[in-house]
Amino acid sequence: MHDSVSANLSFPQYYYDASEAEAWMSEQELYMMGEERAKDEIGAQNMMKKHTALENVVEDYAGVVRQLGECSRALINQEHPESDQIAVRQSQVDKLYAGLKDLAQERRSKLEEVLKLYMLCHEIEDLFQWIVEGEVVACSHELGQDFEHVTLLKERFQEFALET
């Protein structure tokens, strides 16, 4: 796409640039609608990093969409014979871009949920391990072999009692 609107004031060039923009946005939509799932917390974090990078690219693409809008308005203001078609085409581009941004936000929300789920699973595993370790102390039938050993067992149990 050209850098300035004035250099881009032909219907064929506008139509070509709009088609290119639609194709690019459709490709990004397909990627975001993919059913790829993270297998673990690290995978979910990596997916979130990739998605954040893609969101940044989509955000930067706003300039292309804005430039197409300026070009379409300029052509319409010049009363181009295809003004109605240009207005419809620009409306499609704008809707596609808005839909892409919405889809990106939906995917971010899903990825955040997956990350939270993996973090919760990790916390549950830690809690389960803590319970298993606590059961060893709570279920111990060891009475101690001498005064020092009994004192040590008593201190361990008091620490355990405070933790629980």
Q: In the chain, where are the structural domains located?
A: 6-120
Confidence of residue 156 (pLDDT cuts 50, 70, 90): confident
Residue 4 sits at φ, ψ, to 5 deg, of: -120, 150
CATH of 6-120, one of 2.60.40.1180, 3.30.465.10, 1.20.58.60, 2.40.50.140: 1.20.58.60
Dihedral angle of Cα 50, 58, 1, 27, to the nearest 10 degrees: 70
> pTM for the whole thing?
0.73
- The residue among 29, 31, 32, 18 whose CA lies nearest residue 92 is 18
CB–CB of 25/97 below 8 Å?
yes
Residue 14: pLDDT band with limits 50, 70, 90: very high
Give the 3-state secondary structure of residue 20.
helix
User: Structure tokens of 25?
Assistant: 């946005």
